[in-house]
Structure formats: structure tokens, C-alpha cells
Chains A and B, each alone.
Chain A
């Protein structure tokens, strides 16, 4: 029973890892938390659903298509909105991301209504292994997320682009002196964030179903994961996501399942009280 919960929690955590990673990457470069992350997830899920159910692509191809679409949408948001507001401070960016979140979510609602949609995808029997039930969706989630995480870590730590991204996150002025343009790096980061959230949208849609509030339901856990890891730390976001996933699943031992979302909120509050730098650095206190 507990082993099953741990397994489920681990997979839930992996699902959170991609958007938490996206959130933390954009925070590192642009120094504002993107409140549109949930809406981007929803939008990605709908993009995949359109490609999969309406255009008849296999789900894997649809997921790639949705990642490409979302990367473009994220870049478009940056070109049209974020880059124009970059000098106005993080609060303005924060509020503008709320605006973008409303726009993205309601484009989906306007086009497809509030009905829940499912991907055209064969449901397979769960695998049984030493008394554990492993769903096919869980297996897919684990493989996709672990692959993405390895790719991102390789990108960040073993490529010139990753070095440039880390340089801009660390000290934009110094990076600029060395010829690394913040604007270009910011755009590329938005593309990566778009891809990651779109993929997580597809995985979330597999796990639940696609509806306009899909991403909103993950919003607080995503933030909890990123804050737990220390906003701006990619490794921290992944570890944070797994901790949040485990905490949410294991909470069902003591709490009614309706209160799962409160767990993430409690983690955030507790963390801000006790260790406001998160697990992996980052500064939270103003003065």
C-alpha cells in the first residue's frame, strides 16, 4: 500500500518536474515567476489534442507538434509582451503573466468549451510487478520526463548554450560584457520552457483528461516544487517536484484526497517560515 503510494507520488512528482523546470529556468534568466505556467500547460495539452484527435496524428507525433507550437507561442509572448516590459520590474512582469494566462486559457475555452477531452490512445492493462500496479501512462511519464531531464542537464552543463544561459542567470551584465546577449538567451529559454510545459501538458492530459482548468490544477504544486528547490535552481526544481509529488500522495494516508492541493500550499508556507532559500539556494528575503 505504502509502496504503491510512493510509486504514484514519484510519478506525480516527475510530472511536476517539467513545468517546475520551465518555471525555474525562466525565473533564472528573467527574474520573475511566470504565472502563466499553468495556462501554458493547458494550451500545450489542447494543441496536442487537436493534432491527435482532430488531425489524426499518433500521440507521440502530436506531442512533438504541440511542443513546437508552444515554443513558438512562448516566444511570441516574449516578443509581444515580456521583452517590452523587461525594464519595469518583476511586479509588472508578474501581473502581465497573469494577463497572458487569462488569454491562453480562454482561447482554449472559447474554441473547445468546458468539456473534458481525451486523447485517442489505447488504454493498456496496468503492469503488475511485486504487488505494485504500474499504469502504462505512469511508465510513459517516467520515461519522457527522465529523458527530458537528462537532456536539459546535458544542455545546461555540457553545451555552449547552457553555459551562456547559466552566465546570464548568474550575472547578466558580466555575461553581456563577454558578448552573451540577454535577449537571445531569453528567447531560447522561452522556447525550451514552452517545449517542457507542452510535454507536461500532454502527460497531464494522459493522466487526467484535457480541460481548460487542467494547468490551473497544477499551478500551486508547480510553484511549490520550484520554490522548494530554490527558484532559479534547475536541479532543485526536479528534486522539489519529486518531494511535492511524494508529499501529495502520502498525505492521502492522513488527509481526505480533496485536500491534496492544500499540501502544496502548506509546504510553501512552511518553507517560507523555516528555510526561505529553498533547498538549493536562491534568495527570498527582501531586507
Chain B
């Protein structure tokens, strides 16, 4: 299971331009179990957005956002509404956000931070990878995670070793930042490339303290162990 938690609303609202029309997607898998997905998250996000003047054109809970086929089919059922939206907001782990971004040519923003695998891997094999860094920056990188596609985990563009879209580390490996650049260009949001991202809080990537483990997100594991 991938443990995720909803981002603070100020951060989510910071992604959106004034009055931008939003379509909401929430995961009915791991994220729902953590109370950061499913109908609950959808309602929470809807009220946050509407209170701040962002029209919500629609919303959908999909069973497992890590499965690209399911996401593609699920979203095609509501394609008219998705078309109408200028941006999508996804309540899921980092894999789920990247999957939605991979099937759509629109800005896709994360509504959650992914904290840990919680001992389980995601269910479906997928090219999209999440580094569970605890402070998701997919909003600024076109829905492609620089921590997992760039071996150096750079946050502000390609290093000098990137050449013709190839990584310096391995022949044939695509340069992650070239992919991110191409994606941002395609969705017309190169302004996001120029956003300065402060150094990451690595504390969130390290071991999870016991106090947090006893919180709701890990409760399932704990109850099992204690019984």
C-alpha cells in the first residue's frame, strides 16, 4: 500500500491560476484507505476549490489510478467534462498522478503527498514511479517525477551531460528533464519550469517516526501486528 495524505489547501490552490476550471480525480485504492482518496477526498477538494472561486467541472473516483488502462477507460466515460477542464487535480499517490498525466495532455496537479510504500508495492506494474518523498512536486514538472526519472534527482532542468534527449548515466536511457521539458511545452506551462523549488526536506524521505506510524495512515498495519 502506498500511504498518502492530502496536501494543505494553500499549496493546492497555489497551483491553479485564477478561476481555472478543474476536474477532480480520486483514487479508490490505497489512497482511499488512507482517507486521502475516494469520495471523501473528492468532496473535501470540491469544497476547497469552490470556496476559492475555482469552478469544478466534474469529479470521478477510479478504482486504482496506478493502472493506466483503467484510468484511460474511466476518464473516457467522462471525456466531455475532462475536455472542458483546464487542469486536473488528482488525489492519489505519486504513481496515480503520473498515470493521469500520462494519458492526458493537460496540466495535472497532485492533491497529495506520498509518504511511504507502507511495506507494500503498488498493485500494477507501471512505468510511472514514485519516490515517496513526502512533498510532491509533480505540479511543477508536468506530472513526471524528476526524482525517479533523473538519476541525480535534479529539480531545475537537465544537467550538462544530457545530450539529444539521452541521459549521461546510461546509453539509451531518456533524459528525464528533457521529457519534463517536452511535456511542459506541450501543455503550455513552461512557466512552471522556471519556478524555484527550495531544497527538499529529506527528513520526510527518511524513517517514519513512531508517533506518525500510530496515526491513522498506518493504523491498519498496527492493528494487525498488535492482534
Our verdict on whether A and B bind, yes or no, reads no
Give A contacts to B, CB under 8 Å.
none
Give B contacts to A, CB under 8 Å.
none
